[in-house]
Structure formats: structure tokens, C-alpha cells
């Protein structure tokens, strides 16, 4: 191999001795790709070096063949330099090869380390992906929980609004009830005063009623005495008398017009002067006649009262009358008035002749 060839080869081979440069911040993947590239490039360089050596030896053989005499000495300078160049070229090439081999080994070690780190990074990435997946799952669950919570909160807010409305209504009702209670209390107070007044009036009325009952008892005794005397007188002198009741099952009225009362339950009708069909009494002879009637009212049906008519003219309620032959008497129920009767005969009409004239 010539010196020029050696130096050219040395320039080609010495370039891989420099350590590969990676910019700061380069990723592990880039470094691994660079390592793989060196692993592929170094064998190619070794092959090219070997081929270059073979070509150089072939060229030297051809040169020796073209020389006229192989034993003829060459140029002293060339002859002096040639053994030195041949001796130093071989060891330098193998040194370069060993260096390249060492670099390949170092690159393999670094590649393994890089692969280990890559696997570690991949495991970390997988863990981070798993953590991210768990985080996403947790986030989705939190979103669902948040949605559910918002729905519950919305429902709770609606319930709160409804409760507020109900509370407002209850407050209004409570205020109304309170106002009604105050009004009732005021009425009760007035009612208590009126009740006390009515109680006093009732006491007064009871006292008056007791006094009237005493008077009434006295009057009843007098009437009983008078009736006894009248009955005895009738038995001795009278030949005209009747006694009748209104009804044994119902009352009469109220009516829209004055109505003649017909006492249809006849107990006594001496002389036949009373007609239960028409309700009229007709005097059969001239004399003094005594008329009397009793009535009972029903407070639920309105006013109570009757009128006694003599020949079509209203007269007093209970009287002793001087009648001529043919005079008529009857009882009339006024408009909107009502009386009541049943089997106990509360409403009655009677007459008898006191004496003839």
C-alpha cells in the first residue's frame, strides 16, 4: 500500500472514531435509531477497509510485475520508506478495527441500556396510561355523580320552591285563621255579654212566668168554676151546644188566602146547629150564646192565630153573643197563618146556649 493510499484510507476510517453527537433533549427513540445506524454502518466500513487493502495489494503486485527486474534496487528514498510504510500500515488498520469493534461493543452496551431504559419508560408510560385511564374513569364517574347531584339538587330546589309556596299559603291561611279567631273571640266576648244579658232577662222572664203561672192557675180555677156552673146551667136550661176538634192527624195552613176552618172531629152537637162540612154554626133560636175556641201553633210554619166571624164580620175571639134565629158564626185562618192539631185535640171550637130570650 502506498503512502497516499494509506492516508486516504486513514481519513476515511478515522471519521467513525468520534463519538456520535446527539443534541440536548433528544429522545431515547432518536438515540436508539442512531445506535442502530452505527451498528449497520460499522460492518460496512470494515468491509470497505478490507476491500481497500486488497485493492492496494493488487496494485502493488501489478507494479512489481511491470518492473524490468525484480531484483533491481529501487530509489533509495522509496526503498527506505517502503518497509516502514508496510510495517506501520498493518498494525494501524487492525488498531482501527479493534477500535471500531470496541465502539460497536460500547454502542451495543449503550443500546442495551437504552433498550432497558426504553422498556422502563414504556412500563412507566403503560403505568401512566393506566393511571390516565383510571383517572378518566374516575373523572367520568365524578361527572356522572356530578350530573346526578345536579339533578338531585334541581329536584331539591323544586321541592324547596314548592315548600316555600306551601309555606306562603299556610302563612296566608294562618293569618286568615288568626283574623277569624280574633273575630270569633270578639263575637264570643259580645256573645258572653249578650248571654249574661239574656240570662238576666231569662231570670226576669222566669220570675214573670212564675207570677203569671200563679195568676193563670187562679184564672184556671175561676174558669173551671165558671165552666162547672155553665155546664150545670146548660144541663138545666140549654138545648143547643156543640164541641168539635180540628183534626186528629194534621194541622191547617199556611194558605195564600183567608180560609174557613172546618172542625171535623165532632164530639157534641146538641140541636145540630154546627155543620162540620161547612164549619158554620147557625143559631136555631134567639138567645145569648157563649163561644170558645183553642188553637195550637207550629213555630216552624210561621204565625199562629184565628178570627171569629159573625154574619161575615170579624168580632172578638171569645165572646158571649146575643144571636137571632139564623145568625151564623165560623172561624177563619188568616193568610200566611197556620195551626196544628193531632189526636190529643189541641185546636177546638165549642158553643152552648146560655139562655133563651
Alpha-carbon distance of 58 to 223, in angstroms, equals 187
Alpha-carbon distance of 357 to 353, in angstroms, equals 11
76-236 and 28-66 are packed helices; what angle lies between their axes, rounded to 10 degrees?
A: 160
Q: What is the pLDDT of residue 267?
A: 93
Average pLDDT over residues 183-200: 84
C-alpha cell recorded at residue 191: 256573645
Q: What is the pLDDT of residue 274?
A: 95
Q: What is the pLDDT of residue 48?
A: 67
Average pLDDT over residues 270-288: 94
Alpha-carbon distance of 101 to 345, in angstroms, equals 153
Give 284's contacts (C-beta < 8 A, 6+ positions apart): 240, 271, 273, 325
- 91-98: long-range contacts (C-beta < 8 A, 24 or more apart)? 92/6, 92/10, 93/9, 93/13, 93/49, 93/53, 96/10, 96/13, 96/14, 96/17, 96/49, 97/46, 97/49
Q: What is the pLDDT of residue 238?
A: 54
The H or E element spanning position 121 is helix 76-236
* Tens-digit pLDDT profile for residues 85-114: 444 555 688 888 888 888 888 888 888 888
How does the average pLDDT of the chain come out, rounded? 77
* Tens-digit pLDDT profile for residues 256-266: 999 999 999 99
Q: What residue segments make up the domains of the chain, in order of their start? A: 3-143, 237-356
Alpha-carbon distance of 277 to 327, in angstroms, equals 18
Burial classification of residue 38, based on how many CB atoms lie within 10 Å of its CB (0-12 exposed, 13-18 middle, 19 or more buried)? buried
Strands (E), the chain: 241-245, 259-260, 265-270, 274-275, 280-282, 287-294, 307-310, 313-315, 320-323, 328-333, 348-356
Average pLDDT over residues 280-298: 90
Contact 79, 70 (CB under 8 A): no
C-alpha cell recorded at residue 130: 393506566
Average pLDDT over residues 284-311: 85
Lowest mean pLDDT among 28-42, 69-83, 209-223, 300-314: 69-83
Greater confidence (326 vs 54) lies with 326
Comparing CA positions, the residue from 254, 334, 255 lying closest to residue 300 is 254
- The rounded percent of the chain whose pLDDT value lies above 70 is 69
* Tens-digit pLDDT profile for residues 148-175: 888 988 888 888 888 888 888 888 988 8
Alpha-carbon distance of 176 to 327, in angstroms, equals 71
Average pLDDT over residues 287-315: 85
Answer yes or no: is pLDDT of 72 > 90.
Answer: no
Answer yes or no: is pLDDT of 144 > 50.
Answer: yes
Q: What is the pLDDT of residue 194?
A: 82
For domain 237-356, give the fold.
Answer: Jelly Rolls (2.60.120)
Comparing CA positions, the residue from 64, 55, 60 lying closest to residue 86 is 60
Amino acid at each position: 500500500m502506498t503512502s497516499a493510499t494509506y492516508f486516504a484510507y486513514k481519513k476515511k476510517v478515522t471519521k467513525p472514531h468520534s463519538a456520535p453527537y446527539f443534541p440536548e433533549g433528544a429522545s431515547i427513540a432518536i438515540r436508539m435509531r442512531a445506535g442502530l445506524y452505527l451498528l449497520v454502518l460499522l460492518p460496512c466500513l470494515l468491509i470497505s477497509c478490507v476491500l481497500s487493502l486488497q485493492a492496494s495489494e493488487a496494485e502493488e503486485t501489478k507494479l512489481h510485475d511491470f518492473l524490468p527486474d525484480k531484483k533491481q534496487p529501487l530509489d533509495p528514498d522509496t526503498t527506505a520508506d517502503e518497509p516502514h510504510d508496510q510495517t506501520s500500515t498493518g498494525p494501524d488498520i487492525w488498531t482501527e478495527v479493534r477500535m471500531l469493534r470496541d465502539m460497536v461493543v460500547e454502542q451495543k452496551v449503550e443500546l442495551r441500556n437504552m433498550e432497558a431504559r426504553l422498556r422502563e419508560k414504556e412500563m412507566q408510560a403503560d403505568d401512566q396510561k393506566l393511571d390516565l385511564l383510571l383517572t378518566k374513569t374516575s373523572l367520568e364517574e365524578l361527572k356522572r355523580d356530578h350530573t346526578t347531584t345536579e339533578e338531585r339538587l334541581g329536584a331539591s330546589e323544586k321541592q324547596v320552591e314548592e315548600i316555600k309556596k306551601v309555606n306562603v299559603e299556610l302563612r296566608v291561611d294562618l293569618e286568615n285563621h288568626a283574623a277569624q279567631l280574633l273575630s270569633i273571640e270578639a263575637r264570643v266576648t259580645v256573645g258572653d255579654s249578650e248571654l249574661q244579658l239574656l240570662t238576666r232577662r231569662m231570670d226576669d222572664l222566669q220570675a214573670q212566668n212564675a207570677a203569671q203561672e200563679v195568676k193563670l192557675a187562679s184564672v184556671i180555677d175561676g174558669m173551671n168554676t165558671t165552666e162547672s156552673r155553665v155546664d150545670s146551667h146548660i144541663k138545666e136550661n140549654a138545648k143547643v151546644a156543640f164541641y168539635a176538634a180540628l183534626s186528629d192527624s194534621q194541622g191547617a195552613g199556611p194558605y195564600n188566602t183567608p180560609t174557613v176552618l172546618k172542625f171535623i172531629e165532632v164530639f157534641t152537637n146538641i140541636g145540630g146547629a154546627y155543620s162540620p162540612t161547612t164549619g158554620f154554626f147557625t143559631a136555631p133560636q134567639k138567645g145569648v150564646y157563649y163561644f170558645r175556641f183553642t188553637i195550637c201553633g207550629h213555630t216552624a210554619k210561621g204565625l199562629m192565630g184565628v178570627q171569629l166571624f159573625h154574619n161575615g164580620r170579624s168580632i172578638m175571639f171569645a165572646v158571649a153573643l146575643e144571636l137571632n134565629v139564623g145568625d151564623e158564626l165560623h172561624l177563619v185562618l188568616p193568610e200566611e197563618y197556620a195551626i196544628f192539631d193531632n189526636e190529643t185535640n189541641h185546636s177546638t171550637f165549642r158553643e152552648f146556649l146560655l139562655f133563651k130570650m
